[in-house]
Structure formats: structure tokens, C-alpha cells
Structure 1
Amino acid sequence: MKSKNDTAYCGIYCPDCIHYKNKYSVYAKSLKDHLEAIAFDKYAKNKSPFGAQFKNFEEFESVLTALAETKCNHTCRTGNGCSGVPCKIMECCISKNYEGCWDCSEVDECDKFYFLEPRCGEMPKNNIKKIKKDGIDKGMEKRDNFYVWQK
């Protein structure tokens, strides 16, 4: 049952996440390592008519580091939470011995989904409703788009 292992307790289908087994982390790490090897930060700080566009390099470097460190190689279920960090939803399901939030009768009123809403909107709860109705495999076939901007 692949859908169960790929579906988080909250109803998110992990392989749809941009961080799951992404390529950008590998490229970002390679670029970060190369820029460090050639001391590009010193070049960017140097006041010169050449390279004025690099004045925000420190900010870029911070974003590049975040990109390099964001890769997620395991699903929520197989990796002990999203990117290896259990959330309140996962902890709640495990403490109640639930397979997922679809085993709960209080999902609509649950306030543990707030941290997902900025990027995922109602997708997790919509997916849970589909799983409740059709089972995990069929529910995940009908799942919502992962991110709110994918409508």
C-alpha cells in the first residue's frame, strides 16, 4: 500500500512537496561549495565598478544555504515527520493510535493545521475528507493540489 507510506498523518501526499527528493538542494550545495572555494564573498564585498550587482550577496548566500539544506528524502511516516521533525498532528495521531487524521471525528474543528495553511490552504483537510469517503488509495488519487498557488 504505497499511498499509506507516502501520505502523512495530516493528509498531505509527501511526493507532491517541492522539498521531497528535490534536485535544487544538490545544485545549491554545489554552487555554495564552489563560491566558498573561490572566496566569492570577498569579491562581492570589494567596492569596485565591477560587481556592484553583488552588494546583496550575503542575503543570497543565506537563501542558498537554506536551499542546500532543505532536501527531504523520506516521507513523514518513514522519516519520523516532515524533514525528520514530528509535528503536533503526527504526535496527536500516534498518541491516539490513529493511522491518520481520517480516523478522527474532530478534524474540522482541529487547530493543529494552522502552520500548513499559508502554503497548503485547505488541501490537507480536503484530502482527509476524500480518504474518509473513499479510502487512502482512492482518496489520494483524487487529492487536491499541494500548494495554494497551484489552483
Structure 2
Amino acid sequence: MKLIDKVAYCGIYCPDCIHYQNEYSKLASELKNHLLEIGLDKYAKTKSPFGAQFQNYEEFETILSALAETKCDKPCRAGGGCSGIPCEIMDCCISKSYEGCWECSNVDSCDKFTFLEPRCGKMPKNNIRKIKKLGLDDGIEQRDNFYIWLK
């Protein structure tokens, strides 16, 4: 697979994402199935002096299901978007026949990146600036950390 195939239109390097080809989805799915098999959901719902710590089990099941379903097997370009869901950025680049936002002159003022900011901060736009300046190979080699907590 060529480097461009691993770089999303927004400048994100897909293999840096925790969802990309992760192992936790398989493990979460196995755990979810096992817990259903043994009836832990029924155990958790039973009012008893034992197991009071399971009172939020339904929330746990919701999170476990989300973990089981968030696996992303293909990078953005091959997978039709992040986890198979196209975004405004992807749609914009495709409509303009851009390989990525680094071909656009309006990146700094673009508001299509706001949905990424809570977890990624300014990383996508920073990566785009580096790709514009250094080219794809060197820009990605010098990319920012994916998540804001990895600073």
C-alpha cells in the first residue's frame, strides 16, 4: 500500500488512529458474547445484596457494544471515509478532484475541521501545512501526534 493510501484527505495518517486495525474490537465482541452466554445481564439486573457494583451494567453494555463495533479495517480512501463514513472534508476534496486538503488554498479558513478538534486539536491542519511545505513523504514523517492528549 502506498503512503497516499494511508493518508486521509484531511491530513490524518490513518494508522495513528486507535480504531484503525485495532485488536480491542475483537476482544470486546468476544467479551460481549461471553457475558451474554453466561447471563451476566440478568445477574446485574437482579436486586440483591450481592453485586451492587453492577447497577450501571446497561451503560457498560452500551460502551462494550461501541468498542466491538468501532473497528476500522481500511484507511479513509479505501474504506469510503473514517470507519466507512464519508465526511464533509472527503466530499469536498473528491468534488474538487484533490488528493487532499493540501491542494487547497483555503485550508486555514476552512470550518470543515471542527468535528475533529475535540480529539485531534489542530493536528489535521498542521499536517496539511507540513505536507504543503515538505511534500507528502516528509510531511507525514514529521506529522503531529494524532490525539491532543499525546502532546
Aligned to 1:57: 57
1:25 equivalent to 2:55? Answer: no
Once residues 54 and 118 of structure 1 are traced to their aligned partners in structure 2, the CA distance between those partners, rounded to angstroms, is: 30
**2:69 is equivalent to residue 77 of structure 1:** no
Distance in 1 between residues matched to 2:113 and 2:97, nearest whole Å: 19
1:61-102 deviations in whole A, cap 9, x for unaligned? 000000000000000011110011110000000000001000
Q: What SS does structure 1 have at the residue aligned with 2:41?
A: helix
> Aligned partners of 1:21 and 1:101: how far apart in 2?
24
Matched to 1:125, the amino acid is: K
The residue type paired with residue 126 of structure 2 is N
Q: Which runs of 4+ in 1 moved over 2 A?
A: none
Match of 1:101 in 2: 101
Normalised by the length of structure 1, the TM-score is: 0.98
- Listed as ranges, the gaps of 5+ residues in structure 1 are none
CA distance in 2, matches of 1:15, 1:98: 21
Aligned residues: 151
**Whole-angstrom CA distance in 2 between matches of 1:7 and 1:49:** 53
Match of 1:13 in 2: 13
In the alignment, which residue of structure 2 is the partner of 1:66?
Answer: 66
Counterpart residue type for residue 83 of structure 1: S
Q: How does 1:130-149 map to 2 (within 5 A)?
A: 130-149=130-149
- 3-state DSSP of counterpart to 2:145: coil
1:112 equivalent to 2:138? Answer no
Report the secondary structure of 1:32's partner residue.
helix
- Once the two structures are superposed, the pairs formed by residues 33-48 of structure 1 within 5 Å of their partners are 33-48=33-48
Q: Under a length normalisation based on structure 2, what TM-score does the superposition of the two structures give?
A: 0.98
The one-letter code matched in structure 2 to 1:111 is: D
- The code of the aligned residue for 1:95 comes to S
Letter in 1 for 2:27: Y
Q: Unaligned stretches of 5+ in structure 2? A: none
Separation in 1, partners of 2:84, 2:70: 11
Q: Take 1:130 and 1:3, find their aligned partners in 2: how far apart are those partners?
A: 15
Structure 1 residue 27 displacement after superposition: 0.6
1:2 CA displacement = 2.4
